[in-house]
Homo-oligomer: A and B are copies of this chain.
C-alpha cells in the first residue's frame, strides 16, 4: 500500500522573469514571497484553500495549465491585477475574464463558484 495526493502548483519561468513573476503572483494571491536560501530556484507563496481541478477542452492545438482566481467583485479584482502587471485577454460572456500574468501565463478571474467562499480569501480595500 502507498498513498499520494496533489500537493503543489509550480509556476516555472526563466531567470529574466523570475523576480517579476514572483512579485506578481505574491501580489495577486495576497502572500509574502519566501525564498531560502537567497539563491534558491524556488520562491514559496504558501498553501491555499482546497482548489478544484478540472480538464478543459480548448479550441486550439495546444495544451497548458492555468489558475483561476475567485472573487466577489470581478471588475475590482481585474483592475487590481492589471495594476500588478496583468493584461486583459478577453471577457467571456458567461461572466469571467481571461488575463495574462507578466510572464505570459494565461489565468482566469471568476465570480464566486465555491460554497465555502470566502474561505481564507484576502480582503482588498
Total A residues in contact with B, Cβ cutoff 8 Å: 77
Instruction: Name which of A3, A15, A114 has the most chain B CB atoms within 10 A of its CB.
Output: A3
7-33 of chain A: CB within 8 A of chain B: 7-15, 17-18, 21-22, 25, 29-31, 33
Per-residue B-contact encoding for A27-43, CB less than 8 Å = 1, 0 else: 00111010000000111
Fill in one digit per residue for A41-73: 1 if any B CB lies within 8 Å of its CB, else 0.
111111111111111111111111111111111
Knowing A53-B48, A56-B42, A124-B1 touch, does A7 contact B65 (C-beta < 8 A)? no
Of B18, B54, B113, which one neighbours A11 at CB under 8 angstroms?
A: B54
Is the Cβ of B60 less than 8 Å from the Cβ of A14? yes
